[in-house]
Structure 1
Amino acid sequence: MRHIRKRLASLLYTVAICFLFAFGWKSVTAQEAQQKPPSVSAGKSAEKTDKSEKASNPAQIELLETKVRFETNGDSHKEVHTLVKINSELGVRQFAQLNFDFNRSFESVEIPMVHITHASGGTADILPSAITDHPNPAVVNAPAYQDVRVKSVRILGLQPGDTLEYRVIRTVSHHPLAPDFWLDHSFDRSGVVQKQDFVLDLPGNVVVHINPETPVDSTEKSGEGDGARNIYHWRRTEDVNSNAAQQQKEAADITLSTLNDYGKLGNKLTNLLYPSGPASTAVRAKADEFFAQGKDQTERLRSIYDFVSQKIATVDLHMGSTGYRTRKPEEIMASGNGTPEDKAALFAALARAITVEPYLYFTFSEGEFSAVALPTRFDHLFVGAYPDGKWVVLDPSLEVAPFGMISAKFRDKVSFCVTKTRENDGRMVVSLLPRLPKELPFAASQRVEITAVLDSAGALSAKVKYRLRGENELILRVTFHQSPKEKWKELAQLLSLTDGFRGQVTGVTASDPYATKEPFTVEYELKQPKFVDWSKKSVRIPALLPQLGLPDPPAKAASGSAMAPIELGTPLEVETRMSLHLPPGVTASAPAGTSVERDYATYASQYSANGWTITASRRIKFLLREVPSTRAADYNAFLRVVQSDESQDFTLERPETSPSKTNSATQNPTASPKTVPRKP
């Protein structure tokens, strides 16, 4: 069950993919990020389709030309010219529609040319009528955000062997952060793009940070004084036939920002995100409600968080889609929805109204701090405060995260913190790069209870109940919250499979995802018609419990290098219990339980057979986050005890059946004995 953290993350990804196709795609915007062509990620599939095909990618981008020009007032002009060779049907599907995100309040996108050269020699131009401009799917039901849009072009008649050529022009004018501007660009190293040509035209006083691995090929200077400009030109050619594709770098190859320090960026964001002036009548009235509801600052802040998190629906736009511009708090409350930035601004306004100073925390998409102040590096926004002197960080954008709970991938990560004082000078008080909290706001626990009945025909009926607090609670809470109820049965089926339970889920219920003060529970019923074969006198069955799963023992370190510690993750207590009722006349013998204790974890199990009922329980408690590599032998011994115990079976016998052979259950209802690493 401990490994459920990793499996549930995979479950969430699987569910997201299923719903992506079932309910439509979500577009993602990136302010001045590289306008990349559609990703080509199924090279192996294309290779299987035709092993003789030389190209390993469904589509090969033969040429990618990009020209970017920035003006001193922050305006920019970007032109992308792309030439694509379609190699397979998968490539046809990938390029059947091109989508370009933009915000029409400060951006425009034009597609002046889409041209197809057929393998047969004919040509075709895509007509302007094939180009559509529509709201981003995330804002369809949010009128205040209709400026966030997608320009799309459908490409009909494309076939394997064809060459697709298109040109896209993006213009930015009067961005909310103007006259400042920024850019980060990375060259493709995967072999998908054969030739890359990048031109950057800048005012002469702008500093460019260039990766030494991708030095500029030529630089041209023109003009003098305020009119001076520098034009940088890169030309890269990749060997697409090489079997050794380079790993894509996390850091960008080219970065620039006139927001040359985080203090300046912080001031810009503060002015956009924090409400200015005294609280409005609507904000003051709502804050008075929360003030009356709580006895102290923590209770009042919890009421504000619950309101902003649960009553204001999140408009799920990529960070910066609105240029970090927010609406007035009273408008957000009246509409009942808001972007993550809007919800943070509303939280800040209400917190200040009850005299609690709010903080905003931006996390970096690359995981850690970057020397160049780039707004495009931010991927998530948290709010925080110090009610009653205790630091708390909150995520209202998730809507159902418990108070003080943030996702595991963000905990203990470097963030960029800004806040604005109330003094007349409006100076920013900022601890630039704090790490977000490492610990959970409560003890993590997981309980799984299985009550099952085995009938005389060998069919199994079971009720499975999960009760979770902690990381997996948040994953399941968000998953069930974002899924329509008619899909919950599918979710439960996936959940049962991840824990090794075979059979068909026939019903599912879950606790209210908004009830965040209590653990999240999921219950489902499971039926497996042919669980055992009663034609045999003796039948061996495992305990109907999920495998607890511990991290694999450390691999041998390379010569001269130290062995890494064994990661156990966040301290957690896991308890699983099973009660199985047998048909009349069946006798059962139970294996012996075991117990083992270490300073990093404890494990205990109990098994019993009492009349026509057998029971089993396993409990493991992880006490430390890691085991030093020097104690690998001790950990291996602990792991072997747990795995040996989990492999034990109950033995069932029917005296009236004459054959004396021993047979196992026709299907193992528990997870594979192979353990899965507990921490991703």
Structure 2
Amino acid sequence: MKSLILAILAFCVAINTYASTYGAKILKDNVKVKCYSDGRKEWIEEKEIKILSREGVKEFGEIVIPFSHEHQKVEILYAYTVLPDGRTVKPQKNAFNIVYPPFQAMAPIYSDLRYQTISMPAVKPGVILKYAFKVETVKPYMKNQFWTTNFFQSVYPVEHATFKLSVPADKKIKIKEYNFYKKPVIKRKAGRIEYFYELHNIPPIKEEPSMPPVGELAKKIAVTSLSSWNQVARWYSELAREAVEPDNYVKETTLKVIKGKKGKLEQIKAIYNFVAQNIRYVGLEFGINGYKPHTASSVLKNRYGDCKDHATLLIAMLKVIGIKGYPVLIPTQGVPDMDVDMPTPTAFNHEIAAIKLNGKWLYLDTTSDTVPFGELPASDQGRHVLIVDVENQKGFIEETPIYPAESNREEFIGNFTVDNSGNLKGNLLFNYTGVYAHRERAILSSFTTPYDEKQFIERTVSSVIPGFEVEKFKISNYKNLNKKMFTFLPTEAAHYLRQEQNILCYSTLLHQHTQD
């Protein structure tokens, strides 16, 4: 009896731990994927989710299934909630909706992505959500080719997961397991080959600050029918070929931008700064609204674009001055680095550009208006990339540089005097380079009033000289990416030095540590 009680208590503790830590548990996640020789694909997924706490209600009460309006169609096979007493509750008809993503209103040229949503009924701790859906790729992204990735593991515990892949027997594919070792059950029938994987009791991935992306840690399967990255490069070259051609409007604008600039390097820098600071970045991942970029002219007229539109306009404007630019497909640090053995377009979530300068690749990311020419955001550094030669329809696998630590500096230089009354006077200079300059420009650009700016400077100075009040200060022209980033201000702190009997007391200068 005592053993039984202890077992029950242990079970209850485990349930409570799951509830407080994860909010939900995936009881079943069964995926069936059927691929066709022409590139069409069917994805059928069945899920059962046990809700353990209010966090689980918040996370899974609204089911969201993204799909491409142009390339795919979605069908809900079933959806219902199982109550603790076994009764089932089905969603009302108006609980099923196809909605536009939130960015649609501010960027109407992006119309490909849709969300199929299901508002699940009677969701509370203790219920089980059951639903299944089918997504058909009816218009292949790449003719006669397919690829897919299935995640067995996530930040939630998974009790049972399966993945069944069916491909034509005469189609060569690459299939690769990540972070687990288990051979699939393989069957051949009716001109097709089936691969079946089954996993049990998959632990959740614990989220931690500055951790690698979940996709890099998770147990997953990747499949591709592509045999080389040149196939990806040729495909994207066809999509981008017309878009990167400058029309008269792009040519006229480019000539205005470079007016008075001497030398090619100064002209390139002027074009970079123009695109970075005049084309509003709509932060969509590569491929989320389709892969075909809009024409350079339309991006210039609309004055906004996603990453591939930024790269397209930059390349078109560079072409006007006789500089060849290259689209660069890149997985940023928020996603797994590309596996050079598994060519797929979905290896990337971002696009930048590159030029050849003095025989070396120079990477250009204009999606951030705080990163100067010749530098890269931290998220772009140390990543494998596919550089696309649109003209010759071929690609190059390269790796972006990692800038040395000494190029990222946050420093202060002070000159101070203390009078006989213990009052401190002098001046303080803050210098920023690299990622610290990027951050400082971004923060200052976000302020809407001089008061906000002053408050920020006071907090910065107080981290060095406690109790200091800012009266005057000078900030470099942080909106000019060609200028260095600094803040200069005269300093004055009353009674900074004070005498206690035979001891002089003062506050030491503090050193500020910056975290991600």
TM-score class, shorter: 0.7 to 0.9
Q: Is the 1:214–1:253 Cα contact (8 Å) retained in structure 2?
A: no
Q: CA deviation at 1:169?
A: 2.3
Counterpart-to-counterpart distance in 2, 1:166 and 1:476: 46
In structure 2, relative to structure 1, the CA distance for the partners of 1:499 and 1:69 (3 Å cut) is farther
Provide the residue aligned with 1:4 in structure 2.
none
Q: CA deviation at 1:68?
A: 1.3
1:90 to 24, 39, 55: 55
SS state at 1:284 partner = helix
- In the TM superposition, 1:257-272 aligns within 5 A as 257-272=224-239
Provide the residue aligned with 2:316 in structure 1.
349
Provide the residue aligned with 1:653 in structure 2.
499
Counterpart-to-counterpart distance in 2, 1:248 and 1:312: 31
Q: CA deviation at 1:142?
A: 1.0
Q: Is the 1:293–1:303 Cα contact (8 Å) retained in structure 2?
A: no
Q: CA deviation at 1:439?
A: 4.4
In structure 2, relative to structure 1, the CA distance for the partners of 1:172 and 1:497 (3 Å cut) is farther
Provide the residue aligned with 2:383 in structure 1.
413
Q: CA deviation at 1:460?
A: 11
Give per-residue Cα distances to partners, 1:362-394, cap 9 Å, x unaligned: 223423542010211113322121357664221
Residue type at the aligned position of 1:404: G
Residue type at the aligned position of 1:71: Y
Q: Is the 2:101–2:113 Cα contact (8 Å) retained in structure 1?
A: yes
Provide the residue aligned with 1:670 in structure 2.
510
Q: Which moved more, 1:194-203 or 1:250-259?
A: 250-259
Counterpart-to-counterpart distance in 2, 1:142 and 1:447: 39
In structure 2, relative to structure 1, the CA distance for the partners of 1:475 and 1:198 (3 Å cut) is same
Counterpart-to-counterpart distance in 2, 1:326 and 1:511: 36
Counterpart-to-counterpart distance in 2, 1:71 and 1:461: 76
Counterpart-to-counterpart distance in 2, 1:504 and 1:108: 61
Pair 1:232 & 2:232 matched? no
Counterpart-to-counterpart distance in 2, 1:216 and 1:54: 33
Provide the residue aligned with 1:392 in structure 2.
362
Give per-residue Cα distances to partners, 1:499-547, cap 9 Å, x unaligned: 57777999999666531111234689xxxxxxxxxxxxxxxxxxxxxxx
Q: CA deviation at 1:444?
A: 5.3
Q: CA deviation at 1:671?
A: 5.1
Could you tell me the TM-score, scaled by structure 1's length?
0.62
Counterpart-to-counterpart distance in 2, 1:97 and 1:148: 18
In structure 2, relative to structure 1, the CA distance for the partners of 1:60 and 1:92 (3 Å cut) is same
Pair 1:254 & 2:215 matched? no
1:211 to 177, 189, 205: 177
Provide the residue aligned with 1:612 in structure 2.
none
In structure 2, relative to structure 1, the CA distance for the partners of 1:505 and 1:220 (3 Å cut) is farther
Provide the residue aligned with 1:53 in structure 2.
16
In structure 2, relative to structure 1, the CA distance for the partners of 1:485 and 1:233 (3 Å cut) is farther
In structure 2, relative to structure 1, the CA distance for the partners of 1:110 and 1:128 (3 Å cut) is farther
Give per-residue Cα distances to partners, 1:241-269, cap 9 Å, x unaligned: 999xxx98548642222221011111111
Counterpart-to-counterpart distance in 2, 1:241 and 1:340: 32
Counterpart-to-counterpart distance in 1, 2:52 and 2:350: 37
Provide the residue aligned with 1:620 in structure 2.
none
Where in structure 1 are there 5+ consecutive unaligned residues?
1-46, 422-426, 525-577, 589-651, 655-659
Counterpart-to-counterpart distance in 1, 2:157 and 2:515: 32
1:315 to 272, 282, 301: 282
Give per-residue Cα distances to partners, 1:213-262, cap 9 Å, x unaligned: 44344223233xxxx2222221111166999xxx9854864222222101
- In the TM superposition, 1:162-241 aligns within 5 A as 162-188=127-153, 192-204=157-169, 205-211=171-177, 213-223=180-190, 228-238=191-201
Counterpart-to-counterpart distance in 1, 2:278 and 2:157: 45
Counterpart-to-counterpart distance in 1, 2:431 and 2:204: 52
Counterpart-to-counterpart distance in 2, 1:51 and 1:506: 54
Percent of paired sites with the same residue: 17
Residue type at the aligned position of 1:407: P
1:473 to 424, 434, 437: 437
Q: Which moved more, 1:75-84 or 1:356-365?
A: 356-365
Provide the residue aligned with 1:274 in structure 2.
241
Residue type at the aligned position of 1:515: N
SS state at 1:113 partner = strand
Residue type at the aligned position of 1:139: Q
SS state at 1:77 partner = strand
Counterpart-to-counterpart distance in 1, 2:451 and 2:134: 41
Provide the residue aligned with 2:295 in structure 1.
328
Q: CA deviation at 1:447?
A: 3.9
Give per-residue Cα distances to partners, 1:18-76, cap 9 Å, x unaligned: xxxxxxxxxxxxxxxxxxxxxxxxxxxxx9x9787253531111101111122222222
Q: Is the 2:153–2:204 Cα contact (8 Å) retained in structure 1?
A: no
- In the TM superposition, 1:501-580 aligns within 5 A as 513-521=478-486, 579-580=491-492
Where in structure 2 are there 5+ consecutive unaligned residues?
1-9, 207-213
Give per-residue Cα distances to partners, 1:529-566, cap 9 Å, x unaligned: xxxxxxxxxxxxxxxxxxxxxxxxxxxxxxxxxxxxxx
Counterpart-to-counterpart distance in 1, 2:87 and 2:504: 67
Residue type at the aligned position of 2:123: L
State the Cα RMSD in Å.
Answer: 4.3
